[in-house]
Structure 1
């Protein structure tokens, strides 16, 4: 091994090695300690370690760490250190350390629960908490009874070790050791550069230029996604001389290595959050952090995930900053102010709470278990588990008793996305031309190359056929799907029409019917914007969800014939009676044949509908349009937000809702229970649009729980001035992002108040927006005591000159709160 300077992890390396064999370890070490780059090499020298498997959450990190470790040994990957990721494998008989992604370990465990030949499993960067990480750990813990000699190490840079230790000890019924490494070796200077009123992308360019004027070596810039990387590099190219290099997971290995390798020339590396952890990026002594990330949130009613740009957690901010001080003194520029950090979550949410769980549930079924029978550090979302089970049942992967079917065993064994595997199995008996077309389509769905993607599916397929074979990853996946479908290259043109019926086997939720030339409705009931909708029936393979629901779009529409739908094995046709309650019409009863929310046939019945049938029609109408179609007055909105905050942040509150959670999804599903009893006089959509839901929402809680709501989440707070100030509870989406309740009042009104007011029995401090006499924001704080100690003196000094008629006492804690001027007080 080449000589290397000491790293913080070295101080606990002997203690780690001493735990082998059958180690049970949680290692907490900050960024730059050497968890990924030094510890594995130390373990290789131990006589107690055989074949080690180190899991990485990202393919980019796995490959580059393997290269880095091999270089430290003077070798090539595939010798002592190898790696296995989807589509790439570097391993030999001499390999003793394999760096893999968690999905690879899931496959190995499914094939061999005892992991024969493996002595140690290391979960690196466990704080990222992706789906495959939690799933592979759950399966591994279940199999440790078969392999008590297997060593298990869980390593995290930001998650506290003790909760993980306590959970593991409870699961394993044996001691689990915690070892902690010291923090950063080198000093780090932090600069805050709030965005203000400017677009953050514009501000970012200025901050990068500022950083270049102070950073001796290179700069690593964090942005949310590939689009922002391209835009920033393009903007910087015209204003700086230094080379700008992208770093993200879609690049080839050679392109990644170019960004990671330092050749002595100062450079700017622009990356997504793939560069937060593990990767060693030489020649970087400055980080510019946009403070944003792009995360995926599953939206069950759309049967897809929504990419949302949001602020990172404080743990991620720490990770990113640490990249600047790994090899020497560094600095970080942050595109936010210190006050903004009050709104940051401490840690990022685990994917298991926010992602589509279809793949996870299928793998658990293949394991021979149920989700609730396995051990999870974070419990999976119950709603998402239920939705996944429904989807797998419709796909034919599991039976009604949640057992894998013959098809289920086939598709899980493929080791690919469940939906794509279902399509591949359905296509196996078709012609070579059709199978080849399916192979190309599956590759485009799985590994789309963004520069070759068009809103038209046929153009997208043609672009990939013409240019993608030069892309190694795409070529590898096409080869994989051609092997699964046992087909050869069969022509350069594809007909999307012949694909549509086969693709339905994987994506029945994307069946769509034309509403007009610019709108389609999915089988789930939601409507999406689309371009030039020609066919009445189609399959919308790409659903893009926007931050604004009205801008949600469907692309990659493939035309379907109505005859393709009748008798399709995974499209059950329901026959029912239904009331048409559309605005401006008298309610009428119809006999209908439907696939989900889409109507195949409809005929009017002779008899008029009953009141119960009318209300059911209104429930159906509302389910399609969402709760926003109701009359949400300011009071109703405020009550719902307050109720949701109470539900989300007070554990004992959840049992008080009697199974109807105050979430949009739960309220829509349970309209019959909480809303219909208050529709006594409602006979039409127009009546429903005038109905105020406040009283019905209030009845979600019994009298005792309503009193508890008022006590723990009051509507107002009495300021020291005597005025009752409204508490603004965050919107539901903001509450999910960790935004806290807020009060807004003039600074003079809180004189005499030593500390911030609280709700939830003292568990949550209110954010306070303190205003000037003119009503302008002076300070946003969640810690009033700190404001009095640290910031008030400067604020009052400035305000005395600007507002001399108002009191600005030197000792605000012992001053009298007021809304009056000095003259009025005298």
Structure 2
């Protein structure tokens, strides 16, 4: 056997597993841990049971099993076998079984003792997949409660090992130093311009690398789209063969990318599928475009979306290691050495960013809350609560979050709980739809969103391509058909009612039944309350009712990527028991008025909408309160004076309600509601005088106190009441100068002198004073001289203190 770096770590690893039954192994990319360690454990006789090794991807599981079998001079299925979804190669003689991570969960849920299993290896644990985290937590609980002999080993190349070792009961940490072969890293001299397309930069780097190096080239790109576009830009020598490599490809095409080139050089354009547990033969050169695609779940929208982000340092290390698997290598990075310091150390654990519906269902089946298990990272409470809400909607959980009989049946199906619910409810007729919705879109993004087109292509591809101008991913269709056959066998029973594609989609997505919003824009409100938008030119843009099966997950307004038209009759047939009449009175910001409607609702969508003619006054008033919060409070002059009086008395230390604008707005439910009768619109509110409502905030004693200490009016010598304005530094009155004739003392409020503004007969200010007697004795003479000429018909006595107050002009002389 070829000596690999991992061989130096085998003795301490085997010793640790003999002593503690647990360990964490760190080994750099290319060290050989995936294919050497399981065989070494088998050879050491650590257990009489089977050794189960988990891999994050089907391709890696097959490749690892076949490589170990080859080492033993066998074929897969003898001493070493594998099990992945849809395929199994094992036998009675199998001692090492390589499986994808989700299979371990199914094994434990059906047999908590893991009968016949002696050891579980979590390979590439640094990827922190949801299934691996959950599987390890379950295994740790099994060890504590049922199987203290079960051996657990976590292996990784780029793992923050200490937290994992602590989680596993302070398990020993074993480290393998050094790669199989050294790798030279080459960075860019300067950052890529911001407007540079990733595919163009990558294609240039591939051309340069082919000219500068020898051997196979492995290129890391975020997704199939970038792979296809980069491939179309390449102009390489005739001796170079280009192979795409991504998860949705048929296995035979994946194997072609892995196998050594028969002649010339091989260039593999791959996603992160090639990062770990996979040796691609002949590769000497790695080109890292520096991007990774991850699923992000938004609990606010209840939807997942794929985002493209910078790679982390751990991912970059994994990718770099691919160049040193079989010989000395070179790694080109499409970023500068200076930019490397800004990279995050590790990618987020899947439990932090993924849809947790499946995890919530598995936990319910296990009978535990997340905090009951030794999870390395606890799920986000909001995301977990959203997942439980989906399961309640599907009937998989009861009111106490316990799994129902229906929920148990969903766990037996290899699907997301939504699709499992559809299959369990509708029976085998839903198998094709479940396979289609679980897979990547078989049509290109330029095709309309209509799910019926995908059904057409699946049903009769030749007829579809003859009639439709849309490109079809034939390999994806083939994979969907195969999966549909497997799911049809898994489905139990049969729904006697034939269901249309739209009805089946609605069973899986009852919260995504979309109703076209009023107006011309192709916007839809979903039964779950979210908003979505469709391209204007899409044929479904004017459809009244649709079921949305895929979006881009934008939390503000998700763009529809796949949907199907549904009729109201089909909705009523499926969800008639959930449709209810609701009386709805609400404030419309757009229309600036209270709208009263009677609506027949399915979740957040109104199948029927009528005017609520006899809406009660209290319902309208409650809705108008929201309008007041929207419009704000505006006080009439009289109300402003009242508020100023109250403020003055509060400032003096008396207990009175706070009538500042913020205080008034925050307490409108308490004092304004009884006074809003008849107020329904912004115009009504604009004309509404708040004075009476504000006065009711004071009891009788408080009102008496205000009237005494800050009276509303000053009574003039003509017995006329003039409002007093308390909003300034001093209380103020404004009145005609002639109305104060005969006034020999200055007007007061309590002991506070009023600020008096005296007006001319033309209502223009002529004097402001705090001393009326002083004004008569001094400034009045100048005012009289000026005013007599302007207003000769009005009295201007030489001694105003001896004149009678008046608002009239002089009598005419006959």
- 1:458 is matched with 452
- 1:288 is matched with 287
- 2:645 is matched with none
Give the C-alpha shift of residue 588 in structure 1: 2.7
- 1:736 is matched with none
Give the C-alpha shift of residue 110 in structure 1: 0.4
In 1, Cα distance between equivalents of 2:630 and 2:223: 38
Q: Is the 8 A contact 1:26 1:177 kept in 2?
A: yes
Give the C-alpha shift of residue 33 in structure 1: 1.2
Give the C-alpha shift of residue 581 in structure 1: 0.9
Q: Secondary structure at 1:232's aligned position in 2?
A: helix
Q: Which runs of structure 2 are paired with 1:148-547 in the superposition (5 Å)?
A: 148-169=148-169, 175-193=170-188, 194-197=191-194, 198-237=196-235, 241-263=239-261, 265-428=264-427, 435-436=428-429, 438-448=430-440, 450-451=442-443, 454=447, 455-466=449-460, 473-485=479-491, 498-515=500-517, 516=520, 518-523=522-527, 524-530=529-535, 531-533=538-540, 534-545=542-553
Distance 1:620-1:443 versus aligned 2 partners, 3 A rule: farther
Q: Is the 8 A contact 1:24 1:177 kept in 2?
A: yes
Q: Is the 8 A contact 2:594 2:620 kept in 1?
A: no
Distance 1:578-1:131 versus aligned 2 partners, 3 A rule: farther
- 1:655 is matched with none
2:551 maps to 1:556: no
Q: Output one character per residue of 1:625-664: Cα deviation in whole Å (capped at 9) or x when no partner.
A: xxxxxxxxxxxxxxxxxxxxxxxxxxxxxxxxxxxxxxxx
Q: Secondary structure at 2:566's aligned position in 1?
A: strand
Give the C-alpha shift of residue 572 in structure 1: 5.4
Q: Is the 8 A contact 2:207 2:236 kept in 1?
A: no
2:10 maps to 1:13: yes
In 2, Cα distance between equivalents of 1:618 and 1:294: 46
Q: Output one character per residue of 1:669-714: Cα deviation in whole Å (capped at 9) or x when no partner.
A: xxxxx9x959999999999xxxxxxxxxxxxxxxxxxxxxxxxxxx
Q: Output one character per residue of 1:337-372: Cα deviation in whole Å (capped at 9) or x when no partner.
A: 223223321100001011110010001111121222
2:41 maps to 1:43: yes
Q: Is the 8 A contact 1:582 1:685 kept in 2?
A: no
Q: Output one character per residue of 1:757-779: Cα deviation in whole Å (capped at 9) or x when no partner.
A: xxxxxxxxxxxxxxxxxxxxxxx
Q: Is the 8 A contact 1:209 1:240 kept in 2?
A: no
In 1, Cα distance between equivalents of 2:420 and 2:92: 32
Q: Secondary structure at 2:118's aligned position in 1?
A: strand
Cα RMSD (Å): 3.2
Q: Output one character per residue of 1:388-427: Cα deviation in whole Å (capped at 9) or x when no partner.
A: 1111111100000011112111111224321111111211
Q: Is the 8 A contact 1:537 1:562 kept in 2?
A: no
Q: Output one character per residue of 1:310-341: Cα deviation in whole Å (capped at 9) or x when no partner.
A: 11111101111111122222111111122322
Give the C-alpha shift of residue 553 in structure 1: 2.3
Q: Is the 8 A contact 2:531 2:558 kept in 1?
A: no
In 2, Cα distance between equivalents of 1:15 and 1:69: 22
Distance 1:321-1:25 versus aligned 2 partners, 3 A rule: same
- 1:584 is matched with 591
Q: Is the 8 A contact 1:301 1:526 kept in 2?
A: no
In 1, Cα distance between equivalents of 2:476 and 2:502: 27
Larger radius of gyration, structure 1 or 2? 2
In 2, Cα distance between equivalents of 1:587 and 1:511: 27
In 1, Cα distance between equivalents of 2:315 and 2:475: 36
Which stretches in structure 2 are left out of the alignment for 5+ residues? 462-473, 632-662, 674-678, 684-814
Q: Which runs of structure 2 are paired with 1:635-784 in the superposition (5 Å)?
A: 677=666
**Mean Cα displacement is larger for which, 366-375 or 232-241?**
232-241
- 1:818 is matched with none
In 1, Cα distance between equivalents of 2:200 and 2:8: 44
2:606 maps to 1:599: yes
Give the C-alpha shift of residue 620 in structure 1: 12
In 2, Cα distance between equivalents of 1:470 and 1:368: 37
How high is the TM-score relative to the length of structure 2? 0.70
Q: Secondary structure at 2:168's aligned position in 1?
A: helix
In 1, Cα distance between equivalents of 2:125 and 2:81: 21
Q: Is the 8 A contact 1:581 1:684 kept in 2?
A: no
In 2, Cα distance between equivalents of 1:308 and 1:69: 36
Give the C-alpha shift of residue 502 in structure 1: 3.5
- 2:467 is matched with none
In 1, Cα distance between equivalents of 2:667 and 2:259: 67
In 1, Cα distance between equivalents of 2:515 and 2:126: 43
Q: Is the 8 A contact 2:14 2:41 kept in 1?
A: yes
- 2:778 is matched with none
- 2:84 is matched with 85
- 1:142 is matched with 141
Q: Is the 8 A contact 2:215 2:283 kept in 1?
A: yes
How high is the TM-score relative to the length of structure 1? 0.69
Q: Is the 8 A contact 2:549 2:562 kept in 1?
A: yes
Q: Secondary structure at 1:37's aligned position in 2?
A: helix
Give the C-alpha shift of residue 551 in structure 1: 7.1
- 1:639 is matched with none
Q: Secondary structure at 2:63's aligned position in 1?
A: helix
Distance 1:598-1:82 versus aligned 2 partners, 3 A rule: same
Q: Output one character per residue of 1:437-494: Cα deviation in whole Å (capped at 9) or x when no partner.
A: x221111112346357852212201212335699664343212222234699x9xxx9
**Mean Cα displacement is larger for which, 142-151 or 229-238?**
229-238
In 1, Cα distance between equivalents of 2:594 and 2:378: 45
Q: Is the 8 A contact 1:55 1:121 kept in 2?
A: yes
Q: Output one character per residue of 1:226-263: Cα deviation in whole Å (capped at 9) or x when no partner.
A: 11111111211467751110111112222111111113
**Mean Cα displacement is larger for which, 523-532 or 231-240?**
231-240
- 2:623 is matched with 613
In 1, Cα distance between equivalents of 2:31 and 2:373: 32
Give the C-alpha shift of residue 37 in structure 1: 2.0
- 1:714 is matched with none
Q: Is the 8 A contact 1:508 1:570 kept in 2?
A: no
The total of aligned residue pairs comes to 614
Distance 1:71-1:574 versus aligned 2 partners, 3 A rule: farther
Distance 1:192-1:567 versus aligned 2 partners, 3 A rule: closer
Q: Is the 8 A contact 2:51 2:96 kept in 1?
A: yes
Give the C-alpha shift of residue 84 in structure 1: 0.5
Q: Is the 8 A contact 2:239 2:265 kept in 1?
A: no
Q: Output one character per residue of 1:140-195: Cα deviation in whole Å (capped at 9) or x when no partner.
A: 112112011010000111112112112222xxxxx511111103243222211232
Q: Secondary structure at 1:152's aligned position in 2?
A: strand
